[in-house]
Amino acid sequence: MTSTPFPFTAVVGQDDLRLALLLNAVSPAVGGVLVRGEKGTAKSTAVRALSALLPPVAVVPGCRFSCSPGSPDPGCPDGPHEPGTATERPSRMVELPVGASEDRLVGALDIERALAEGVKAFEPGLLADAHRGILYVDEVNLLHDHLVDLLLDAAAMGASYVEREGVSVRHASKFLLVGTMNPEEGELRPQLLDRFGLTVEVAASREPDQRVEVVRRRLAHDDDPAGFAARWADEEADVRARIVAARELLPSVVLGDAALRQIAATCAAFEVDGMRADIVMARTATALAAWAGRTDVLAEDVRQAALLALPHRRRRNPFDAPGLDEDKLDETLDEFGDRGDDDPDPDPDPGPDGPGGGGGRPPEQGPEDGAGDAGAPPEDGPGEQPPPAPAAGGAGERSAVRAAEPFRTKVLSVPGLGEGTAGRRSRARTEHGRTTGARRPRGALTKLHLAATVQAAAPHQRERGRTGRGLVVRRDDLRQATREGREGNLVLFVVDASGSMAARQRMSAVKGAVLSLLLDAYQRRDKVGLVTFRGSAAEVALPPTSSVDAAAVRLESLPTGGRTPLAAGLLRAHEVLRVERLRDPARRALVVVVTDGRATGGVEPVAQAGRAARLFAAEGTASVVVDCESGPIRLGLTGQLAGELGGTTVTLDELRADSIAGLVKDVRETGSRRAA
């Protein structure tokens, strides 16, 4: 029994989200939507409700790849298709789970039949199901890199290719890509980010009346889904008819030279990379005009298109917040626009259809929807929470100082060979990478080692009665290729924020170094955590997460002062790693201790710090001590700490890419000596 989805028109507020989805329904060429926002803001609800508004799709009967009867794919695996009757089916929304396998996404070939019979037995995947429909990825920022690569290829070429040891299948795959994400859990890979045509920021309303209406409608739907949907049937039908009318009008919309100049000038003014932004803005402005029932593109269409298409294309690194300076946008539009005939009022009355591009808002839903704050960043959203209260005992506490400019570092890797989540830091056994050997498959075969399979089957051909050209292959002959690639690690920063680190210039350099390592962790798909210690205690400033920008914000606001409870910091870090191993046992850790090595406060602080450090060495945890000691007289305490940890030491200057050449070797050699 199919559950009744929540009606699209019953979603309260979230005007920008609904508008972006509807524009893609009008013109799929816009390129999809990325929805960013905190949890519990109706992101998934709105996306799932969209598919019910899309017109039905005409397909060739019996074709598993949804070929259009008017222009079937000549390379369709189920083809060639003869001219005949067409059938209609509802538009599909296909969900891609974050943990899906490659075969589930692109489809699977029966290698055993291909080798033995020469038959291309192909089971279609999600990319085939999504053709001419919606491909929805919840938590898209957590998608594994190899699946991201496949999505990028399909989105760029409009087709999916499946190849297994010389056996190849191709089919059309054109879909509307919709992703949702919570930035608290990490940012999206830049290549995939640019593939989304539009982006919207969503947040829960701070208006009590609107929140009441959200709860009222949610409870009504849960109590009687069918009855609730029936009450919104007329509004759903109106929007569905408006989408059809806008699609029919779209080819007649004229994008004039004035609007094109505004689009080009806006993209140049905001320094977006490449030309995709210009094209997306043009398509979005055209769709906005069609949605408003017009055949000409106005300045407000261009403005709304910029607000939807540019914010996610302006980020230069993960520490930059997405967004657009609207004052600068208006100045650019005024400078390059011709408002004499098109737009006499630079700030027109929104009118009955609401603001945002000439009637861009969906049909009115009642007075309770009028004060939506969709698109505004949360007041206390991801990466912007106030830092935790400082530890007690901070005598002589100083306010936080700004970090120095980050710089490029080389990789700090964990010794040995892991089996963790695919990434770009340390060596690991992975599904992708260079082939290093073969083994019997455990479960379904995913990567065939052809030479090993033939070698296993060859001695048995006579007893199996081989007579023809084909090789008689049985299940026991199949061999899985073992491969070596790179994994992502947990990089846990343990930062000394005591009074001995409090010199402003010195702490600024320390924060700059940690920010540089955070940027490197983002690029290498690591999880990060942050433990700080000062005064009389240590605290977890940020539990392990994929959101490096959240770590950067916590670090930036970190105050300093008080004694140096080094042992407390190490013990707290050890506890964080213990809990994280239970959650994700395959992910190996790299502990980066940032300190000058001093330990003060309590009974025998140096001895306690040594005992805490030896816990890491006993468990074989990879570690690096960043030596922050400065001045003409150096005590060499960080070297002693690194010895207790079983790790290595590096100075702040040595962290830079041009002077770190021997560091990776040192880390690996230290790990090898410890293993021996």
Report, as residue numbers or ranges, the catalytic residues. Answer: 276
Number of CB atoms found within 10 A of residue 275's CB: 10
User: Distance (Å, rounded) from C-alpha 516 to C-alpha 595?
Assistant: 16
- φ and ψ at residue 220, rounded to 5 degrees: -65, -40
User: Distance (Å, rounded) from C-alpha 645 to C-alpha 622?
Assistant: 8
User: Distance (Å, rounded) from C-alpha 321 to C-alpha 307?
Assistant: 14
Spell out the alpha helix ranges (H) of 584-662. 605-619, 637-645
Which contiguous run of DSSP H or E holds residue 464?
Answer: none
231 token code pair: 């009450």
346 token code pair: 């630079």
How many CA atoms within 13 Å lie on the side-chain side of 541?
32
Q: What is the largest CA-CA distance in the chain?
A: 89
How many CA atoms within 13 Å lie on the side-chain side of 432?
14
End-to-end CA distance of the chain: 60
Q: Which residues, listed in sequence order, are joined to residue 122 by a DSSP beta bridge?
A: 109
Alpha carbon separation from 141 to 45, 93, 529, 629 (Å, rounded): 18, 19, 18, 38
Spell out the alpha helix ranges (H) of 110-232. 111-117, 126-129, 145-157, 190-193, 208-223, 225-231
Alpha carbon separation from 507 to 190, 294, 410, 654 (Å, rounded): 31, 58, 22, 17
Which contiguous run of DSSP H or E holds residue 509?
Answer: helix 504-523
579: Cβ–Cβ under 8 A, 6 or more apart, which residues? none
Q: Interior CA angle at 486 toward 480 and 492, to 5°? A: 135
Q: Are 189 and 145 in contact (CB under 8 A)?
A: yes
Q: Interior CA angle at 39 toward 559 and 520, to 5°? A: 50
- φ and ψ at residue 558, rounded to 5 degrees: -75, 120
User: Distance (Å, rounded) from C-alpha 17 to C-alpha 374?
Assistant: 7
Smallest CA-to-CA distance from 532 within 577, 574, 572, 580 is with: 572
SS3 assignment, position 268 = helix
Q: Are 450 and 112 in contact (CB under 8 A)?
A: no
Q: Which residues, listed in sequence order, are joined to residue 556 by a DSSP beta bridge?
A: none
Q: Are 535 and 394 in contact (CB under 8 A)?
A: yes
SS3 assignment, position 623 = strand
- Sign of the CA dihedral running 209, 213, 215, 216: positive
User: Distance (Å, rounded) from C-alpha 526 to C-alpha 520?
Assistant: 9
Q: Are 618 and 585 in contact (CB under 8 A)?
A: no
Number of CB atoms found within 10 A of residue 437's CB: 13
- φ and ψ at residue 245, rounded to 5 degrees: -65, -40
